[in-house]
Amino acid sequence: MSNQVIVVGGGLSGLSAAHTILEHGLNVLVIDKNAFFGGNSTKATSGINGALTKTQIQLGIKDSVEAFYDDTAKSARDMLRPDLVKVLTGRSASAVEWLQDKFKLDLSLVSRLGGHSFPRTHRGKEKMPGMTITYALMEMIEDLSVSQPNRVKLIKKARVTNLIKENGAIVGVEYEIQNQSGNKLKAWGPVVLATGGYAADFTSDSLLKKYRPDLMDLPTTNGDHTTGDGIKMSLAIGGKTINMEKVQVHPTGLVDPREPDAKVKFLAAEALRGVGGLLLTADGKRFCDELGHRDYVTGMMWKNKFPIRLVLNTAASKEIEWHCKHYVGRGLMKHFKNGEELAKEIGISPAELQKTFDDYNLIAEGKVKDPWGKKYFHNVPIKMNQDFHVAQMAPVLHYTMGGVDINDGASIKDTNDKPIPGLFAAGEMCGGVHGANRLGGSSLLGCVVFGRTAGDSVADYMKSNPAVGSGAKADAGKSISLPGGFTTSVTVDPQNQKINLEISWAGAAVPSATAATPAAAAAAPAAVAPPKKLRSISAAEVAKHNTEKDCWVIVNGQVLDVTTFLPDHPGGKKAILLFAGRDATEEFNMLHKPDVVDKYSPESIIGVLDTNSLPAQARGNSSETSNRPVIYQPTSSSIHRDITGNRMMNVNRLAAAGSKHTAMAAASMRASQYRALAQRFNSSDAKKTVAEAATATPAVKSGLRFRTKAFITLTLIGAGVAGVVKHSFDDEGFRTLLEDNIPHYAHSLDKLEQIRDNEDFEKVIKGASQASETAIELSKTAYRKASDLINGTTTPAPEKPSSNASLAPASNLAKKIQELEQPKPAVPAARAEYIPSEVPKPAFLPGAAPGKAAASSDKTVVEKVVKKAEEVKDLAVKKVEEVKEKAEEVKEKIQHKVAEKKEEAVAPTPAKKLITVAPIESEEPIMSNLNTTLTQLVAILNESGIPEQGHQVFEKANEELKHLSERVEALKVEGEAQAATVMAELTEKYNRLVSEKETHHEGHISQLKKELAEASELEKKQAIERELKIQQEILREEQKQELMKYAMDMQRRWAREVRVRVENERGGRLARLDQINLRLKTLERQGADNAEFLDQSARTHQLWCGIKALEKAYEAGERRPFDRELARLKRLAESEKDAEVLKAVLAAVPESVATAGVDSVPELMDRFEYVADKVREASLVPENGGVLAHGMSVILSKLMFKKHGLVPGNDVEAVLARTEYYLQESDLEQAVRELNQLKGWGKRLAKDWIVAARRRVEVGQAIDVINTHANLISLTLA
């Protein structure tokens, strides 16, 4: 394809980029290494963020882009990229509305997740939001790849291995198909990388191991395809990365009680905490702000006792009901009827759990401050008599904030901070977008925003570089326009010896044909086999196949063998294995559309469920259970999309099974499917289809559709080949190119020229007659269809006389219409008992009970008649246009042949009877155009001198056309009259309703006015009383102050008098009392100093205890975490004055090292012996040595003499000898210094040991500094 853009990755970001590229008028090639598109985006459970969206405005949420930016910046911390965050938040609303408008997605629910100041996370009422959004984009791109293959190409199970770089720009990719690793293929064009992060990269060249080895043991929520392929390819061509050490650990991964140590876990939606879920420790206590940032909640979880449980009360479970049902169905969440049952599950008393709930309720009411700073509370209060949904949680690897460095246009930068031309990124692999921590709901948003940004940028790049994708590397070819709306595009690749042929008919492309090569022939699909007969399988037999190597499941009444499908399942094989040997209908329908199996894995369907093998309750035979849901009963989601065509795949398969109970089960299934659909959509059309399904016999699917498609496809390919031949006749250069590259083409072309020169003129006349007959048949069919719809009858199609058998291929469409009109036989009376009793009979059907529905039956019938008439009219118009185009084509050919015959004529032919066509007067343009076309065709035949061959045909066509015109006019008049009647009735009805509403609202407004007046008077009275009370309080306070002032004055005067009298009487003894008072103050000061000294001494002792505890953990004989001891010292340091040095030393110890611990000296010595041997073996390998050099080094190292002690020299043996000496002397620091002198392969092999030893040395130095500081404090107390 020319103007092609390559998108690597079929997740939400890649699909968003692909759709945006198509919107710009460019072509797109999407390559994904998985068997299905979707990626990790389908697993997103909370929703997509958006600020100032239409949904928020409708819900009255006063959010803003600025607030969203501030929340994201706060989460990003010191790694904020303002340019990227502005793009993310500023384009959030347009991204959400693009999904709503273009893909018709339901995003009407908005919730608040952790770290957000407003509710801004959008999701729909059903299903996982990530799956719903991604599937919508995926289905549309797949449909476009079929309808427009010249613009959209999809390649799955293909891994891109390299980026092709020429003159500093990316011009294409190199990829290989799965299981064909030796066959490298290339595609040309600018590239958008959307391959995701590296949170499941546990391989030998793992990015996770390189940047965060401390997280390698954690489970992950990512699929095994998340290995950072795009980042690695970008690095290989000089791309720059950023924040690679930032990996987000999500706090709420669901723990499966059956497999608690599983490496891959399902993610619990953050919305579970957003709606009011509580996180409780193993003791039933809260320990954090549940709406805090993810890294904060994860850190708090690690500090507390596991198992950690997420608890949702009745109101929270109801708000997020779909998620709870989904998790319960997978066995990951439990339901408890009350708090007593929950307390028993946790292992605490009900009183303890009651206290936890009471404390939380007080915090939510604002009576008590939350010790963890929680500000937002939902679905409170929580009471013991409520029911609860509970699941165990564990931290899991979830998202990588690091990735390639991009600018605000999604262009990937090189190491010089300059954009790499032709290379763009989207989605999780974009580094710096979220900084140090990602907010919940911003994953899907980042995919859509930067997917669309990359699409816009690559479109601008293509406009400024028009030669990209169309130059020397592109396929060279030509396009040919043929009569009848055909366009044939031929592309020739001489280098690979391939010729590609693409044909489009009336704007719709058909699959391209490629010249056969050995590889293409090997990959050619086998011929489509006829539908296989499905056998009936019992539930007991299905239950036997319940292992990974032999896995069967039941879905909507079908039995699927998914053993080979497990590795390709986008959600992981574990999601299916949970239901191995069981019925997964309910869970399947919660997540998927009904046509997923038929569309993506039809070969897995091996049979239908034998309903006789089920319990009576499951078959629905008991009247007591008729209203209860049946787990084995197919639901409405098992109905095929095309309801009006009765294309129900499950019913057809039941009919094909051929068992004795199948026919009745099929009728029951059809009725139950349509009943569920009618309840879901609550429409008259769906109700009518229920009644039709109850009396219809399931028909076995015929091969007509395949044969028709095969015939049309072969016809179009033949027309395309004819176009190539025709262009070879006209263009000598094109002919030479084909003759040089296609064997025997020149010989074949010469034969075709001879056939063209001897072409029989009678074939042209025959083609004209066939086109005329086609027009007549279409007119008759349209006329009969319109008459039946108006009169409510079914007219059988007239049989064709044997003389017209030659016209059968030309009237294939008429035959299809006739087949659709054939009445279906009714179901025998014996099957009536299988029709559910609760299905109401539609009011517009004969025999329906009168009621409210009957009042609108006439209007419904009129609307359906008008709608059907318009459909028939559109069909007639479309087909007549096609016939007109064919007639024009025949007309041109006939004119050409007539001119040739006139030139060759020698004698004039005798006069013959001419064909006449009566004019048709009609206001419909299509009828006039059809009449004009027939008139012109008759004139051509008259001029050709052979009118008798088409005389009767055209007279009959003229008569039928006249009848059709009259009937269309009558139908139009009748429809307008019926529409006018209905409009008059509706106008009267709604006028009456408006009048009633006006009267009602006027009375309501009067009542409101009265109530507002009374409320105003009451409020005014209360305000006066409040003001009076305030004035009284002020006066009372003033009086109190005056009395106190007077009392103090009296007390001072009385004290002076007493002092004078006592002094006079006791001769100055008060002076001695002052001296005593001074001494008492001195004693008080000394006591305070002693207390402060004792407090400082106590803190010093606590510090020494903390240091000794840290030294104990440090000096342990094995690796042991000391994060608690380090945290205790940090708290003590906060209470110390002038302890900046101590704080700095403690802060220098990484939390990851404290959590993991450091290796002991004996462990390092043991490990050094192994490392030393490996270093010796690689000591003789040069810097760029290969396998032979390594082998020689291993052999020669055995001949080297080991050195011991403090030997001089910089050779490997000397360094190892000195390192060993210092280790034996317990001088680990000097040993590290010596070993660090190694170079080349030796240093690479010893790198891990050096890092481990250096961490121990660093921690030891920190402990020495802390000891020195503690000694200094002790000296100050001496």
Give 529-549 pLDDT, tens digit per residue. 455 667 889 888 999 998 988
Q: What is the pLDDT of residue 677?
A: 40
Q: Can you list the pairs that 446-449 forms with residues at least 24 positions away whose Cβ atoms lie under 8 Å?
A: 446/13, 446/88, 447/11, 447/12, 447/13, 447/16, 447/41, 447/194, 448/12, 448/13, 448/16, 448/48, 448/95, 448/98, 448/99, 449/87, 449/88, 449/91, 449/92, 449/95
- With a CB cutoff of 8 Å and minimum separation 6, the contacts of 890 are 764, 767, 768, 771, 937
b (16+ CB within 10 A) / e for 476-508: ebeebebeeebbbbbbbbeeeebbbbbbbbeee
Judged on CB neighbours under 10 Å (0-12, 13-18, 19+), 244 is buried
Q: How confident is the model at residue 43 (pLDDT cuts 50, 70, 90)?
A: confident
Average pLDDT rounded to a whole number, residues 146-174: 94
Average pLDDT rounded to a whole number, residues 1263-1272: 81
| 105 in Cβ contact with 124 (< 8 Å) | yes
d(Cα 967, Cα 1177) in Å, to the nearest integer? 97
pLDDT higher at 233 or 472: 233
* Residue 643: pLDDT over 50: no
Known catalytic membership, residue 250: yes
Q: How confident is the model at residue 108 (pLDDT cuts 50, 70, 90)?
A: very high
Say if strands 486-493 and 476-482 run parallel, antiparallel, or are unpaired. Answer: antiparallel
Phi-psi region of 658 (alpha: psi -120 to 50; beta: other; left: phi over 0): left
φ, ψ for residue 1083 (rounded to 5)? -65, -40
Sign of CA dihedral 610, 643, 598, 716: positive
| Six token digits for residue 675 | 């009943």
Judged on CB neighbours under 10 Å (0-12, 13-18, 19+), 22 is buried
1-43+129-244+401-438+451-474: CATH class: alpha beta
Supply angle C-alpha 775, 780, 784, rounded to 5: 150
Q: How confident is the model at residue 235 (pLDDT cuts 50, 70, 90)?
A: very high
Question: Best-predicted range by mean pLDDT among 402-411, 571-580, 634-643, 822-831?
Answer: 402-411
Catalytic residue from among 273, 398, 670, 1176: 273
d(Cα 258, Cα 263) in Å, to the nearest integer? 13
Using the structure block, give the residue that is written with the tokens 């029989």.
760
φ, ψ for residue 269 (rounded to 5)? -55, 135
pLDDT higher at 858 or 320: 320
Average pLDDT rounded to a whole number, residues 1213-1239: 83
Q: What is the pLDDT of residue 1263?
A: 83
φ, ψ for residue 500 (rounded to 5)? -105, 135
Quote the percentage of the chain above a pLDDT of 70.
67
In one-letter notation, the amino acid at residue 549 is K
Q: What stretch of H or E contains 791?
A: helix 761-791
| 1158 in Cβ contact with 1203 (< 8 Å) | no
Using the structure block, give the residue that is written with the tokens 């419909």.
924
| Six token digits for residue 818 | 């006739």
d(Cα 59, Cα 371) in Å, to the nearest integer? 32
* Residue 639: pLDDT over 70: no
d(Cα 358, Cα 270) in Å, to the nearest integer? 24
pLDDT higher at 955 or 790: 955
Q: SS3 of 1210, please?
A: coil
| 1164 in Cβ contact with 1223 (< 8 Å) | yes
Average pLDDT rounded to a whole number, residues 1243-1259: 83
Q: What stretches of 578-698 show up as alpha helix (H) in DSSP?
A: 585-591, 596-600, 616-619, 649-657, 662-681, 684-694
The superfamily (CATH) of domain 535-700 is Cytochrome b5-like heme/steroid binding domain (3.10.120.10)
Average pLDDT rounded to a whole number, residues 863-890: 62
Average pLDDT rounded to a whole number, residues 817-832: 40
d(Cα 1131, Cα 1129) in Å, to the nearest integer? 5
Strand partners, 554: 559, 583
Known catalytic membership, residue 123: no
Strand partners, 1122: none
CA 39 from chain center: how many Å? 7
pLDDT higher at 474 or 225: 225
| 558 in Cβ contact with 653 (< 8 Å) | yes
**Lowest-confidence segment of 502-511, 543-552, 740-749 by average pLDDT:** 502-511
Q: How confident is the model at residue 1147 (pLDDT cuts 50, 70, 90)?
A: confident
Average pLDDT rounded to a whole number, residues 943-949: 58
Q: SS3 of 11, please?
A: strand
Average pLDDT rounded to a whole number, residues 651-662: 38
Catalytic residue from among 212, 250, 675, 727: 250
Residue 1234 burial (CB count, 10 A) = 21
Q: What is the pLDDT of residue 946?
A: 54
* Residue 858: pLDDT over 60: no
Q: Can you list the pairs that 55-59 forms with residues at least 24 positions away whose Cβ atoms lie under 8 Å?
A: 55/96, 55/100, 55/107, 55/108, 55/110, 55/122, 56/110, 56/118, 56/119, 56/120, 59/110, 59/119
Say if strands 605-609 and 535-537 run parallel, antiparallel, or are unpaired. Answer: parallel
d(Cα 405, Cα 408) in Å, to the nearest integer? 10
**Lowest-confidence segment of 61-70, 711-720, 1211-1220, 1226-1235 by average pLDDT:** 711-720
Q: How confident is the model at residue 601 (pLDDT cuts 50, 70, 90)?
A: confident
Question: Best-predicted range by mean pLDDT among 369-378, 577-586, 1003-1012?
Answer: 369-378
Quote the percentage of the chain above a pLDDT of 90.
29
| 194 in Cβ contact with 425 (< 8 Å) | yes
Nearest alpha carbon to residue 268 among 303, 223, 312 = 312
Q: How confident is the model at residue 903 (pLDDT cuts 50, 70, 90)?
A: low
* Residue 303: pLDDT over 70: yes
DSSP code of residue 924:
-
Supply angle C-alpha 651, 657, 663, rounded to 5: 55
Q: What is the pLDDT of residue 635?
A: 36
In one-letter notation, the amino acid at residue 686 is A
Average pLDDT rounded to a whole number, residues 918-944: 70
φ, ψ for residue 130 (rounded to 5)? -65, -45
DSSP 80-92: --HHHHHHHHHTH
CA 754 from chain center: how many Å? 59
CA 326 from chain center: how many Å? 17
Average pLDDT rounded to a whole number, residues 732-759: 61
* Residue 1103: pLDDT over 50: yes
d(Cα 1257, Cα 1164) in Å, to the nearest integer? 12
- With a CB cutoff of 8 Å and minimum separation 6, the contacts of 206 are 198, 216, 227
* Residue 180: pLDDT over 80: no
Q: What is the pLDDT of residue 821?
A: 42
The pLDDT tens digits of the residues spanning 866-878 come to 565 566 556 656 6
pLDDT higher at 815 or 97: 97
- For the chain, the first-to-last Cα distance in angstroms comes to 87
Residue 1046 burial (CB count, 10 A) = 10
Q: SS3 of 348, please?
A: coil
Q: How confident is the model at residue 458 (pLDDT cuts 50, 70, 90)?
A: very high
Q: How confident is the model at residue 46 (pLDDT cuts 50, 70, 90)?
A: confident
**Lowest-confidence segment of 91-105, 557-571, 591-605, 851-865 by average pLDDT:** 851-865
| Six token digits for residue 179 | 């299981």
pLDDT higher at 973 or 845: 973
Average pLDDT rounded to a whole number, residues 1081-1095: 84
* Residue 1171: pLDDT over 70: yes
Q: SS3 of 1068, please?
A: coil
d(Cα 1072, Cα 1075) in Å, to the nearest integer? 5
Q: How confident is the model at residue 626 (pLDDT cuts 50, 70, 90)?
A: very low
What average pLDDT does the structure give for the chain? 75
Average pLDDT rounded to a whole number, residues 845-851: 38
Q: What is the pLDDT of residue 892?
A: 67
| Six token digits for residue 511 | 């699959």
Q: What is the pLDDT of residue 334?
A: 95
* Residue 550: pLDDT over 50: yes
Domains of the chain, residue spans: 1-43+129-244+401-438+451-474, 46-127, 247-398, 475-517+703-758, 535-700, 764-800+856-1047, 1096-1278
Q: Judge if pTM exceeds 0.85.
A: no
Supply angle C-alpha 34, 461, 86, rounded to 5: 80
Judged on CB neighbours under 10 Å (0-12, 13-18, 19+), 190 is buried
CA distances from 935 to 770, 772, 919, 932, 954 (A): 16, 11, 8, 5, 9
d(Cα 276, Cα 188) in Å, to the nearest integer? 51
Q: What is the pLDDT of residue 469?
A: 54
pLDDT higher at 1168 or 735: 1168
- With a CB cutoff of 8 Å and minimum separation 6, the contacts of 659 are 536, 610
247-398 fold: Flavocytochrome C3; Chain A, domain 1 (3.90.700)
b (16+ CB within 10 A) / e for 771-789: bbbbbbbbbbbbbbbbeeb
pLDDT higher at 912 or 595: 595
d(Cα 707, Cα 321) in Å, to the nearest integer? 47
Q: What is the pLDDT of residue 11?
A: 95
